[in-house]
Amino acid sequence: MTTPMPEDRPAWEREGRDWPHRDASRFVEASGLRWHVQAMGPEGAPVLLLVHGTGAATHSWRGLMPLLAERFRVVAPDLPGHGFTDPLPAGRLSLPGMAAALADLTAHLGVVPAVAAGHSAGAAVLARMCLDGRLAPRLLVALNGALKPFPGLASVLFPSMARMLFLNPVTPKIFAWTADRAAVQRLIQGTGSRLDPAGLDLYRRLFRKPAHVAGALGMMANWNLDALDRDLPRLSVRTLLVVGSDDKAIAPDTAFAVRDRLPDARVALLRSLGHLAHEEAPERVAAAILSEADTLGIAPAGGPAA
């Protein structure tokens, strides 16, 4: 993949001009990258790390983040190659490579998350960090988590197709040229979710930038979930698997299969929500996360910040 030109990347002054929670944003250097990071919530409160999925960015947390920030110090980065964060070099574009880069960022920020929550591929990054000893939260939350390989022939075809598209420098530009509002709406609805016009517009802004598209393709093309799948029974951290019953991207039954292989896990099934459940109904997702945190005595409501 060729190095993206500056005009191919989302610009903070343009695409980020009215970014959700812009006043919570800052840019930091870690692991050889310039990262866009958002943080909100009381200083000194337990840290909750939010990690978005493939093709998204911090805008994905626009509704959920303030709800969690009532009791946590919430930290949310744009993953490498996504949103306003630099891309990883080709040699580091793997699940362990992404996990290592994010671990470098959290170390640079000096945060030790009590709770780590990831959406889709973001959940896989966090699980890999836990398995590799780079993260030790008291609670891991997978929001429609991509924790297993695609079933059957799809496990071979989908990564191979993504790799072919990623290696073709024209592909991201073609996708960006065709990313109008209707196309983005069809893409989101294909996941089983329905977003408001503002949410769709934020995705459209990103999808119209070839470098962001390339970041998403690179993430899919260079990942091997087989190793993560084999290692999952070693994931000893308490795990909450939040699942939208209408998810068309990852079969909801997958979460129950994952639960049965983990030492300490349960499923919270949210009816009538799709793959982007946390954007459709942030209050329901927040309630599920906070309820589990309460069970573990993390950041109790009305209690002192710890």
Q: State whether the Cα torsion 296-301-302-306 is positive or negative.
A: positive
Strand order in the sheet with 139-143: 25-30, 33-40, 73-77, 47-51, 115-119, 139-143, 238-244, 265-270
The domain segmentation of the chain, as residue ranges, is: 6-296
Banded model confidence at residue 1, pLDDT cuts 50, 70, 90: very low
- What global pTM score does this model have? 0.91
> Over the stretch 92-104, which tens digit does the pLDDT of each residue have?
989 999 999 999 9
Q: Where are the alpha helices (DSSP H) in the chain?
A: 64-68, 95-109, 121-131, 154-167, 171-177, 181-189, 197-207, 210-221, 225-231, 253-259, 277-280, 282-296
Lowest mean pLDDT across 36-50, 113-127, 198-212 = 198-212
* Distance of alpha carbon 260 from alpha carbon 252, whole angstroms: 14
DSSP-assigned beta bridge partners for residue 140: 116, 239
Lowest mean pLDDT across 190-204, 215-229, 265-279 = 215-229
CATH level 2 (architecture), domain 6-296: 3-Layer(aba) Sandwich (3.40)
Report helix, strand or coil for 121.
helix
Look up tokens 């197709």; give the residue. 161
Banded model confidence at residue 174, pLDDT cuts 50, 70, 90: very low
Banded model confidence at residue 154, pLDDT cuts 50, 70, 90: very low
- Average pLDDT of the chain? 89
> Over the stretch 8-61, which tens digit does the pLDDT of each residue have?
899 999 999 999 999 999 999 999 999 999 999 999 999 999 999 999 999 999
Q: What is the pLDDT of residue 285?
A: 98
CB 127 within 8 A of CB 135: no
* Distance of alpha carbon 182 from alpha carbon 166, whole angstroms: 24
Banded model confidence at residue 305, pLDDT cuts 50, 70, 90: very low
In the 8-state DSSP scheme, what is residue 224? Answer: -
Task: Return the H-helix or E-strand segment holding 73.
Answer: strand 73-77
